A and B are shown apart, each in its own frame.
Chain A
C-alpha cells in the first residue's frame, strides 16, 4: 500500500513560480524516490519535470497543491512546502 501525502502552499515570491524557482522545485522533487505532482486548479503536472512545472506555473498568490505518493512522501511534501514558503531561496 502506498502512502500519499499532500499539502497546499501559496506562492509568495514576487515573480511567482518562474525561472530559477521552477528549476529549484524540479531539482528538489527529483531528489525524492516517490511520485510527486503539483496541481493548480484543474491542471496537474509531474513535479520532476521542468516542462510540467512551467506549464502549471503560477503567479504570486497562486495556491499550489503538492501530492506525493510512495517512499518518503511526507518528507517530500514538507520540503517542497518549505522551498515555496522560503521564496525558493531567492532573497528579497
Chain B
C-alpha cells in the first residue's frame, strides 16, 4: 500500500493533516496521541561484581522474577481463561519462573561475577541460540518468546517494570506506533491503555493484526515510512475499518471521526448481537456466509464473527519462510486444528496456491518472466506429484475430524482436475493402507479464477463436486491487470461486465449440474457486490471474518426480488462504472452506514 496526501507537514501556525494509508488490521476507530515504541533493545549494563555482592545480585534477580511473574498473572487474569492470549501468557509464566534459567543466572553471578542484568542477558542469549540451532520452526518461535521474557526480566531488574503493551504505568492511554510488535508484545497489550495500534510492517494476517482483532483494538498495519512522519505525542485518528491514519487532524476531521466512531461502535454492537442470527434476505431467503482464513487462530475469530464454516483455508503459509517441506504430520495437525474448531460446520481446504514469486518458499522454481502465468498452484502441484500428495494425504486424514472439502486453485483445463482426482484417489488409498481414519465422502472442487474455467464452467461442474469463484484472480486474468499494479486499479474492478458475465455463466452451470457455487474473494465482502451476487443466484459467500457482520446486515435489508431486479439491470450494463452506479443508486441509500466512504462518494455522483 502506498501513501496518500501530503508528503510534508504544513505551515507552522496551522499544521495540515496528513493521510497515511495502510492495511485494515483490526476494525474500529481510535483517536489519541502517538506513543512511539522503541524497538531497540536497551543496552545492557555489564558490571563485574565483587564476590561478597553475589548474594544481593541473586536476590535482585529473584525479586525481578516474582515481579515479572506477578504482572503476567494479572494480565492473564484480566484476559480471562478462554482468551486467545492466555495460553501464550501461561507459556511466558513458565519461562519467567524457569529453574534452568535461574540456575544458569545464579552460576554466572556467583562464579563469573557478572551483575544480574549481564548474567541474565548472556544466559537468555545462549539458550535462545541453542533453541534455534535445530532449525525447528517451533523451537525458533519459542526462542523469540524466551527473548521477550528476558526483556521483561531486564525491565523488572532496572526497577522500571516495563509496562505491558509498552505503555508506561500512569501514562495517558494512547496509540502505539511501532515498526512492528512482536507476538509477545501484542499478546500482553493492555486494552485499557492501548487505544489503537499503527505499524509500519505487517499484513492482515500477521500476528499483530490477528491478536489486535482478538483483543478488539483498532489497528492499521503496513503504513510505509510511518516512523519518519509521526512524532511522539502527535494526535492521530486510526481508522481500522478502512486502513487509514490521519496525522495531526484538524477540528473538523476530529469531530467527523468522532461521529463515525460512534456510528461504527453502535453498529458493531448491534451486529455482534446478531452474530448467531442466520444470514438471510429481508424476505427470508437464507444465504450462507463463511470465513476466509490463513492461520488456525483465525478460525475461532471467524466463528466469533458469525461465520457458518470456512470457505477458504489458505495453506501457503506452510511452505514459505522455511527450508524443508512440511511433513504430512505437521500439515495434518494444522488442518485438524481448524477442522475441529469449526466442526460440525464445514471447512474448505485449498491446496497450495504458490509459485516462484512467493517470497521465500521451499519450492525452487526457476525464475519466470511472468510468474502469475507460470508454474504455480495446481500446475506446480502436478509437476511435483510427490509433494502434492503429501498435502492431499494430510487433508484426507483431517477429514476424520469434521466436515472437509478439498479445493484446487488455478485450474485452467479439465485435464488438471482429472489429474488431481487421480492423485486424490491414490492419497485416499495410502491413508487407508496406513490405517488412518478419514471421512467416507470427500468432495473435490475447482476454483474458477482462470477465464478458461469460467467459460467451460459446465464441463467443470460435471466433474467437480463444487465450484468456488476466486474473484481477485479472475479479475486479474480476465482484465489482464497485474493484481499489484497501482496504476491500473481503474481496470481491475469486479463490477466489470466481463466479470459479471463470467460469474453468471458459472452460477448457471452450477445450478444446471446441481453443484454448489461459492464466491470467495474481495467481491464477496463488499456489501453492494454481495447483494449483486445474491441477486444473480448465489447462496454462499466466503470472506474475511470482519466483513461478515456488515454483509449479513446489508443482505437483511434487501429482498431477493430487489436484488434480482438490480442484477438484471447490472447485467445490461456495458462498463464497470455503470454496473457499480446501478447498484449504488438502488441500494446505497439503504445501506449507507455499511459502505466504504469511497463507494458512498461514487454513489453520490448519481
A23 near B90 with CB under 8 A, answer: yes
Measured in the bound complex, the distance between the Cα atoms of B142 and A84 in whole Å is: 22
| B333 and A15 contacting across the interface, CB-CB below 8 Å | yes
Q: Does A52 contact B (CB under 8 A)?
A: yes
Contact pattern, A 3-40, Cβ under 8 Å of B = 1, otherwise 0: 00000000000110011000100110000000000000
Chain B residues 125-152 with CB under 8 Å of chain A are 127, 130-131, 138-139, 142, 146
The number of residue pairs between A and B whose CB atoms lie closer than 8 Å in the complex comes to 41
Task: Name 24 A/B residue pairs within 8 A (Cβ), A-sorted.
Answer: A14-B333, A15-B329, A15-B333, A18-B138, A23-B94, A26-B94, A27-B94, A45-B100, A46-B100, A48-B99, A49-B98, A49-B100, A50-B91, A50-B95, A50-B98, A51-B95, A51-B98, A51-B100, A52-B98, A52-B99, A52-B100, A54-B139, A55-B130, A57-B139
CA distance A55 to B103 in the complex (A): 15
Per the bound structure, the CA–CA distance linking A48 and B94 in Å amounts to: 10
Which residues of chain B are within 8 angstroms of A18 by Cβ–Cβ distance?
A: 138
Bound-complex Cα distance A18 to B139 (A): 9
**Chain B window 86-128, contacts with chain A (Cβ cutoff 8 Å), 1 for yes, 0 for no:** 0000110011001111010000000000000000000000010
Complex CA gap A51/B95 in Å reads 7
Chain B nearest CB from A47 CB (Å) reads 9
User: How many Å lie between the Cα of A27 and that of B90 in the bound state?
Assistant: 11
The listed residue (B90, B138, B146, B333) touching A51 by CB distance below 8 A is B146
Q: Closest residue of chain B to A50, judged by CB?
A: B94
A19 to B396, CA, bound (A): 24
Chain A hits for B99, CB < 8 A: 46, 48-49, 52
Q: Report B317 CB to chain A, min CB distance, Å.
A: 18
Minimum CB–CB distance from B165 to chain A (whole Å) comes to: 24
Cα of A46 to Cα of B142 in the assembled complex, Å: 18
Cα separation A41 to B130 with both chains bound (whole Å): 17
Collect the chain A residues with CB atoms within 8 Å of residue B142's CB. Answer: 54
Quick one: CB contact mask for A51-70 with B, threshold 8 Å, 1 for yes? 11011010000000000000
Closest to A26 in B: B94
Bound complex: CA A46 to CA B146 (Å):
17
A15 to B146 CA separation, bound complex (whole angstroms): 21
CA distance A23 to B139 in the complex (A): 13
Chain B residues with CB under 8 Å of chain A are 90-91, 94-95, 98-101, 103, 127, 130-131, 138-139, 142, 146, 329-330, 333
Closest to B336 in A: A92
Cβ-neighbour of B91 out of A23, A49, A55, A57 (below 8 A): A23
Interface residues on A, range: 10 to 19
Q: Which residues of A contact B329 (CB under 8 A)?
A: 14-15
Complex interface: chain B residues within 8 A of A51 (CB): 95, 98, 100-101, 127, 146
Q: Give the residues in chain B near A15, CB-CB below 8 Å.
A: 329-330, 333
Closest to A27 in B: B94
Please name all residues of chain A whose beta carbon is closer than 8 Å to the beta carbon of B131 when the two chains form the complex: 54-55
**Measured between alpha carbons, how far is A14 from B139 in the docked complex, in Å?**
17
Q: Are B103 and A46 in contact (CB under 8 A)?
A: yes
**Complex-state Cα separation, A55 to B127, whole angstroms:** 9
By Cβ-Cβ distance, the 4 closest A-B pairs, closest first, are: A49-B100, A52-B100, A49-B99, A50-B94
Q: Closest Cβ of chain B: how far from A20's Cβ, in Å?
A: 8
Kindly report which residue of chain B lies nearest to residue A57, judged by CB atoms.
B139
How far does the alpha carbon of A46 sit from the alpha carbon of B103 in the complex, in Å?
10
Note all chain A residues with C-beta closer than 8 A to B94: 23, 26-27, 50
- Check A19 against B138 for contact (C-beta < 8 Å): yes
Smallest distance from the beta carbon of A39 to chain B beta carbons, Å?
Answer: 14
A54 to B100, CA, bound (A): 11
Contacts of A27 in B (CB 8 A): 94
Minimum distance in angstroms from A28 CB to a CB of chain B? 12
User: Whole-angstrom distance between the alpha carbons of A19 and B384 in the complex?
Assistant: 31
Which residue of the partner chain A has the closest CB to B138? A18
Shortest distance between the CB of B137 and any CB in chain A (Å): 11
Of B94, B103, B138, B142, most A-chain CB atoms within 10 Å? B94
Which B residues are in CB contact (< 8 Å) with A23? Answer: 90-91, 94
Kindly list chain A residues whose C-beta atoms are within 8 Å of the C-beta of B139: 54, 57
Given contacts A14-B333, A23-B91, A51-B100, 20 further A-B contacts (CB under 8 A): A15-B329, A18-B138, A23-B90, A45-B100, A46-B99, A48-B99, A49-B98, A49-B99, A50-B94, A50-B95, A50-B98, A51-B95, A51-B127, A52-B99, A54-B131, A54-B139, A54-B142, A55-B130, A55-B131, A57-B139
Find the residue from B91, B98, B101, B329 having the highest chain A CB count within 10 A.
B98
Shortest Cβ distance from A51 into B: residue: B100
Q: Which residues of chain A have C-beta atoms less than 8 A from B330's C-beta?
A: 15
A44 to B102: give the CA distance in the assembly, Å. Answer: 17
For the complex, what is the distance from the CA of A46 to the CA of B104, rounded to whole Å? 12
> B130's closest neighbor in chain A, by CB?
A55
Please indicate the chain A residues that have their CB under 8 angstroms from the CB of B103 in the complex: 46
* CB proximity of B399 to chain A, nearest CB, Å: 16
For A59, give the chain B residue with the smallest CB separation: B136
CB distance from B76 to the nearest CB of A (A): 14
Cα-based distance from A45 to B127 in the complex (angstroms): 13
Within 8 Å CB of A19, what residues of B?
A: 138
A55 to B132, CA, bound (A): 10
CB distance from B62 to the nearest CB of A (A): 16
Closest residue to B329 on the A side, CB-wise?
A14
Bound complex: CA A26 to CA B229 (Å): 47
- Bound together, the chains give a CA A73 to CA B210 distance in angstroms of 44
Chain A residues whose CB sits within 8 angstroms of the CB of B90 once the complex forms: 23
Give CA–CA (A15, B337) in the complex, Å.
14
Given contacts A23-B90, A26-B94, A55-B131, contact A49 B333 (CB under 8 A): no
